[in-house]
């Protein structure tokens, strides 16, 4: 890897555009209007093109104003089509932004021989060229785009800090915000303006398509990782920045490993944020596939262990002594012939000292017997409760109790016991074990 | 109603909020008020509106009473005069006249589509009114927001939103905190106190999607309590909650009444109406009856509300809606 000052500026530009996008992007995600980011980032094109033609330069203030106006218009038109034309929201959006984008393209292509604005660059950006167009700042030659992005990022950060709670309440509960005198519609258009201005700033570096990845993906990733609004905002900033850094490093290293030339940094940034999202989806502490899978497996194991205890308790109760192999077979049948599960349950119980192997059979230890008694008590109480309140045939009771017994907390058990107070036997005539 | 009739005097014409049904008229009224030259004759643009003296009182066409010269502002917590509301041109509420009695629990009862939620939303300016005016303690809602607490239906918000119960309840304080200021310790304490009042203090730090339906409803109620309002409008706070939550909610409502607050509740369960509410408002696109529960909550009135839909109104509403859009 051959890192130069050019690379540094590219990364700075990428990080700034990712962070500038992450802030309004968070609100798009929270308001469930991610596609509005898509719509606005495309629709600003005619605003850009016109401003570009009028001022004949890129990165001018006129461009930002043009984009902001058109961006807000997109939101307004969409709302109109939806409200007045009774067109479905996403269809309205589709109509408005494609029409706007097409107008923008036509203007650019018409004016292409006069001005230097390339449709390809509009779509994908040209972050590699950013360090070439510099302006003096604090005695340094700073790329113009970096200055623009920095200003927009600071502006977004300022707005989010200033309207921190107003943005939150209007995204969460528009009706309440309105009744409290916080105009949710103004906050809505504020977010839309932020999206439009940010899209323009990020335009040069990542273009109008990849900017959507920067708006939505870090925020969506952050949403998987946290349940706190403030942390979600911070995380989306960090994730966006990380994707930008990883993206550029990836762009200049990964293709070379396979003997190709460098690839597009903007493209790799989007890929990197996609990878971060995928990782969050797998590893997120609460909403991740992995943690939910682990949770499910642990639950299945607990249920299997409890089933073993229940089985041994009932055998003891009936005065039956099976050989170990017989118990294993009974258990396997009870657990749907799931070998791994029953083996894991047995090992777990022996490890926890709930059962022991003596004289060629499995026996409950005293602690195991207490656990088993509690479980069987819950089972039989539930059957009694169900039989008391619902007119069900006796053969309907066991299945329900078999599922429910694992979820009856001691508090719930006490309430059920109160409800069926005095019952000694369950509906099948088996004694309900007493609490110890 | 009676107090309203007594207070209907010509002197009230100076009140800019009475005869106003739209912004222009309101502005004209403001001007008139500032000049302190109240006179029906000076405002020909109001000829189509009923004279203010009749508000909530005599039927249209009655003679205005003689002015006493005293100020008798309408002090009903909520006063709705001749309000009509439409969705997409189709009227869903017609000519509602209603004065909420102060310090009472009022149940708003009616079948689905009767316009119960619509009434609350129109009062709160969440949806536009076709006509009519609403005052809160004698002044327009815009000036009295801080006196009104609102509990929307639970389904209206995204419960996956990254906030916990305490955050949601603290939102009730935003009006008091003011724009651009942070939620301080003081307001968090107030929010916590509100959560305690509904028995949800232990769940304050839980992300809201991990609460049960009843707990979510209690969080919403706590949020309204945190608003520390005088008038509460609640949209089906009892829908889909467990028995424990229902009794917790009704206890809170009774506490509010004891504290002199006025509470309007959209309610579905007819069986509990006599036990829960002092007053009822029977609604089916228009007001069927309202008054003390013992007088108004009768089989005859219920039949009028629920039985035999007001077919003529329905037809008229449909005509309104279709004529606006389809070429004849």
Which CA distances in Å does B153 have to A239, B121, B150, B201, B236?
35, 11, 10, 22, 6
Residue A236: the pLDDT is: 97
Residue B327 lies in a domain: no
Beta strands in A53-145 (DSSP E): 134-137, 140-143
Which CA distances in Å does A223 have to A26, A214, A230, A245?
9, 14, 11, 21
- Of the pLDDT bands very low, low, confident and very high (cuts 50, 70, 90), residue A67 is confident
Distance CA A69, CA A434 (A): 75
Beta strands in A88-187 (DSSP E): 134-137, 140-143
A vs B, Cβ pairs < 8 A, gives 79
Judge if B144 and B220 occupy the same domain. Answer: yes
Q: Which of B281, B238, B248, B255 is nearest to B106 (CA)?
A: B281
- Of the pLDDT bands very low, low, confident and very high (cuts 50, 70, 90), residue A112 is low
In the block, residue with structure tokens 């909550």: B297
CATH code of residue B293: 3.40.50.300
Residues of chain A positioned with their CB less than 8 A from the CB of B123:
none
- Give A324's Cβ-side CA count (13 Å radius): 11
B55 vs A436, residue with greater confidence: A436
Secondary structure letter of residue A15 according to DSSP: H
Residue A58: the pLDDT is: 63
CB atoms near residue A390 (< 10 Å): 10
Q: Say if A79 is an interface residue toward chain B (CB within 8 Å).
A: no
pLDDT over threshold 90, residue A194: yes
Q: Say if B224 is an interface residue toward chain A (CB within 8 Å).
A: no
The whole model's pTM is what? 0.80
What tokens were used for A136? 């003096």
What would the mean pLDDT of B121-130 be, rounded to a whole number? Answer: 92
Residue B206: the pLDDT is: 93
Q: Say if B158 is an interface residue toward chain A (CB within 8 Å).
A: yes
Residues of chain A positioned with their CB less than 8 A from the CB of B174:
165-166, 169, 177, 180, 182
Q: Say if B244 is an interface residue toward chain A (CB within 8 Å).
A: no
> Averaging pLDDT over each range in A18-32, A249-263, A308-322, A388-402, which range is the top one?
A18-32
Percent residues over pLDDT 70 in chain A: 96
Which of A271-275, A304-308, B283-287, B303-307 has the lowest average pLDDT?
B303-307
Per residue in B161-199, pLDDT (tens digit) is: 999 999 999 999 998 888 888 999 999 999 999 999 999
Q: Is residue B306 a contact partner of residue B313, using CB atoms and an 8 Å limit?
A: no
pLDDT over threshold 60, residue B39: no
Nearest CA-CA distance, residue A86 and chain B, Å? 10
pLDDT over threshold 70, residue B25: no
- Of the pLDDT bands very low, low, confident and very high (cuts 50, 70, 90), residue A18 is very high
Residue B74: the pLDDT is: 57
Q: Say if A162 is an interface residue toward chain B (CB within 8 Å).
A: yes
Identity of the residue in B88, B163, B179 whose CB atom sits nearest the CB atom of A172? B163
pLDDT over threshold 90, residue B123: yes
Which CA distances in Å does A330 have to A165, A326, A336, A364, B167?
60, 6, 10, 16, 52
A117 vs B282, residue with greater confidence: B282
Contacts of A160 (CB under 8 A, 6+ apart): A23, A167, A233
Residue B314: the pLDDT is: 60
Residue B79: the pLDDT is: 93
Q: Say if B175 is an interface residue toward chain A (CB within 8 Å).
A: yes
Judge if B15 and B101 occupy the same domain. Answer: no
Q: Which of A12, A20, A62, A16 is nearest to A37 (CA)?
A: A20
Nearest CA-CA distance, residue A181 and chain B, Å? 7
pLDDT over threshold 60, residue A322: yes
Distance CA A221, CA A238 (A): 11
Residues of chain B positioned with their CB less than 8 A from the CB of A85:
none
Distance CA B216, CA A217 (A): 29
Judge if B82 and B50 occupy the same domain. Answer: no
**Does residue B82 come out as left (phi exceeding 0), alpha (psi in the -120 to 50 range) or beta?**
left
What tokens were used for B308? 């035999």
End-to-end CA distance of chain B: 43
Residue contact A171–B126, C-beta within 8 A? no
Residue contact A229–B162, C-beta within 8 A? yes
Judge if B35 and B86 occupy the same domain. Answer: no
Q: How many structural domains compose chain B?
A: 2
Distance of CA A375 to the CA centre of its chain: 37
Nearest CA-CA distance, residue B280 and chain A, Å? 24
Q: Which of B274, B289, B270, B285 is nearest to B317 (CA)?
A: B285
Q: Say if A84 is an interface residue toward chain B (CB within 8 Å).
A: no
In the block, residue with structure tokens 């909403």: A287
B60 vs B123, residue with greater confidence: B123
Judge if B47 and B146 occupy the same domain. Answer: no
Q: Average per-residue pLDDT in chain A?
A: 87
**Does residue B281 come out as left (phi exceeding 0), alpha (psi in the -120 to 50 range) or beta?**
beta
Residue A431: the pLDDT is: 87
Distance CA A66, CA A236 (A): 28
A117, with CB counted inside 10 A (0-12, 13-18, 19+), is middle
pLDDT over threshold 50, residue A21: yes
ipTM value = 0.81
What would the mean pLDDT of B192-207 be, rounded to a whole number? Answer: 93
Distance CA A78, CA A93 (A): 5
Judge if B49 and B83 occupy the same domain. Answer: no
Percent residues over pLDDT 70 in chain B: 71
| Answer CATH for A5-285 from 3.40.1030.10, 3.30.420.40, 1.10.3470.10, 1.20.120.140 | 1.10.3470.10
3-state secondary structure of A100: helix
End-to-end CA distance of chain A: 70
Residue B48: the pLDDT is: 44
B307 vs A187, residue with greater confidence: A187
Distance CA B242, CA B239 (A): 9
Residue B87 lies in a domain: yes
- Of the pLDDT bands very low, low, confident and very high (cuts 50, 70, 90), residue B290 is very high
Residue contact A172–B126, C-beta within 8 A? no
Partnered with residue B164 across adjacent β-strands are B207
A107 vs B135, residue with greater confidence: B135
Q: Is residue B109 a contact partner of residue B281, using CB atoms and an 8 Å limit?
A: yes
Residue B320 lies in a domain: no
Q: Which residues of A54-79 are buried (b: 16+ CB within 10 A; e: fewer)?
A: eeeebbeebbbebbbbbbbbbbebbb
Q: Say if B161 is an interface residue toward chain A (CB within 8 Å).
A: yes
Which of A53-62, A121-130, A287-296, B236-245 has the lowest average pLDDT?
A53-62
Judge if B137 and B270 occupy the same domain. Answer: yes
Q: Average per-residue pLDDT in chain B?
A: 78
> Averaging pLDDT over each range in A47-61, A155-169, A399-413, B313-327, which range is the top one?
A155-169
Judge if B293 and B159 occupy the same domain. Answer: yes
What tokens were used for B207? 């992300």
> Averaging pLDDT over each range in A117-131, A337-351, B139-153, which range is the top one?
B139-153
Distance CA B312, CA B285 (A): 11
Residues B243/B249/B250/B255 CA torsion (nearest 10 deg): 150
Nearest CA-CA distance, residue A163 and chain B, Å? 5
Domain that holds residue B203: 78-311
**Architecture of domain A369-419 in this structure:** Orthogonal Bundle (1.10)
Residue contact B121–A175, C-beta within 8 A? yes
């Amino acid at each position: 890897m051959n890192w130069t000052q050019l690379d540094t500026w590219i990364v700075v530009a990428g990080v700034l555009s990712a962070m500038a996008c992450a802030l309004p992007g968070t609100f798009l995600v929270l308001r469930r209007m991610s596609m509005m980011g898509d719509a606005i980032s495309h629709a600003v094109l005619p605003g850009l093109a016109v401003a570009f033609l009028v001022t004949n330069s890129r990165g001018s203030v006129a461009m930002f104003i043009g984009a902001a106006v058109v961006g807000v218009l997109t939101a307004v038109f969409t709302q109109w089509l939806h409200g007045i034309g009774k067109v479905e929201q996403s269809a309205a959006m589709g109509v408005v932004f494609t029409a706007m984008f097409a107008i923008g393209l036509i203007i650019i292509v018409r004016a292409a021989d006069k001005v230097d604005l390339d449709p390809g660059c509009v779509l994908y950006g040209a972050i590699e060229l950013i360090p070439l167009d510099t302006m003096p700042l604090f005695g340094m030659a700073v790329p113009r785009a970096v200055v623009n992005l920095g200003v927009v990022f600071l502006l977004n950060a300022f707005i989010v800090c200033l309207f921190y709670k107003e943005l939150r309440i209007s995204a969460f509960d528009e009706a309440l915000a309105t009744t409290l005198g916080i105009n949710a519609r103004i906050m809505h258009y504020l977010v839309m303006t932020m999206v439009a201005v940010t899209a323009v700033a990020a335009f040069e570096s990542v273009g109008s398509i990849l900017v959507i990845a920067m708006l939505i993906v870090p925020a969506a990733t952050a949403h998987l990782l946290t349940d706190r609004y403030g942390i979600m905002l911070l995380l989306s900033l960090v994730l966006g920045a990380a994707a930008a850094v990883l993206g550029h490093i990836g762009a200049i290293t990964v293709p070379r490993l396979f003997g190709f030339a460098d690839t597009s940094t903007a493209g790799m940034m989007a890929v990197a944020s996609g990878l971060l999202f995928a990782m969050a989806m797998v590893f997120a502490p609460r909403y991740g596939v992995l943690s939910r899978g682990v949770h499910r497996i642990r639950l299945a194991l607990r249920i299997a262990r409890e089933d073993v205890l229940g089985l041994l308790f009932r055998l003891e109760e009936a005065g039956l002594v099976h050989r170990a192999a017989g118990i294993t077979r009974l258990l396997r049948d009870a657990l749907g012939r799931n070998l791994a599960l029953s083996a894991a349950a047995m090992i777990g119980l022996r490890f926890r000292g709930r059962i022991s192997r003596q004289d060629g059979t499995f026996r409950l230890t005293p602690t195991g017997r207490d656990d088993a008694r509690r479980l069987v008590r819950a089972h039989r109480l539930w059957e009694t409760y169900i039989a008391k309140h619902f007119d069900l045939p006796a053969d309907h009771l066991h299945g329900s109790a078999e599922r429910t017994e694992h979820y009856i907390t001691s508090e719930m058990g006490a309430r059920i016991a109160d409800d069926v107070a005095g019952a000694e036997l369950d509906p099948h005539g088996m004694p309900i074990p007493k609490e110890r | 109603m009676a107090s309203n009739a007594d207070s209907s005097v010509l002197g009230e014409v100076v009140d800019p909020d009475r005869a106003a049904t739209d912004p222009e008229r309101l502005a004209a009224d403001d001007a008139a008020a500032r000049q302190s030259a109240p006179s029906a004759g000076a405002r020909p643009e109001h000829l189509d509106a009923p004279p203010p003296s009749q508000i909530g009182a005599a039927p249209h066409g009655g003679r205005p009473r003689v002015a006493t010269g005293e100020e008798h502002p309408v002090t009903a917590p909520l006063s709705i005069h001749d309000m009509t509301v439409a969705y997409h041109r189709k009227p869903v509420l017609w000519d509602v006249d209603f004065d909420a009695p102060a310090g009472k629990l009022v149940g708003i009862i009616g079948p689905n589509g009767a316009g119960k939620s619509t009434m609350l939303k129109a009062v709160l300016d969440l949806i536009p009114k076709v006509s009519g005016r609403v005052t809160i303690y004698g002044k327009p809602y815009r000036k009295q927001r801080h006196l009104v607490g609102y509990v929307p239906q639970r389904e209206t918000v995204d419960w996956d939103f990254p906030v916990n119960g305490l955050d949601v309840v603290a939102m009730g304080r935003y009006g008091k905190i003011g724009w651009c200021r942070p939620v301080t310790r003081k307001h968090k304490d107030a929010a916590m106190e509100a959560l305690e009042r509904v028995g949800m203090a232990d769940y304050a730090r839980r992300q809201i999607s991990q609460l049960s339906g009843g707990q979510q409803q209690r969080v919403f109620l706590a949020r309204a309590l945190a608003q520390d309002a005088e008038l509460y409008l609640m949209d089906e706070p009892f829908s889909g909650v467990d028995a424990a939550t229902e009794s917790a909610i009704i206890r809170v409502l009774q506490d509010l009444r004891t504290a002199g607050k006025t509470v309007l509740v959209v309610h579905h369960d007819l069986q509990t109406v006599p036990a829960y509410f002092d007053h009822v408002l029977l609604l089916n696109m228009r007001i069927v009856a309202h008054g003390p529960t013992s007088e108004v909550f009768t089989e005859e009135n219920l039949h009028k509300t629920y039985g035999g839909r007001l077919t003529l109104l329905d037809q008229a509403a449909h005509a309104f809606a279709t004529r606006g859009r389809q070429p004849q």
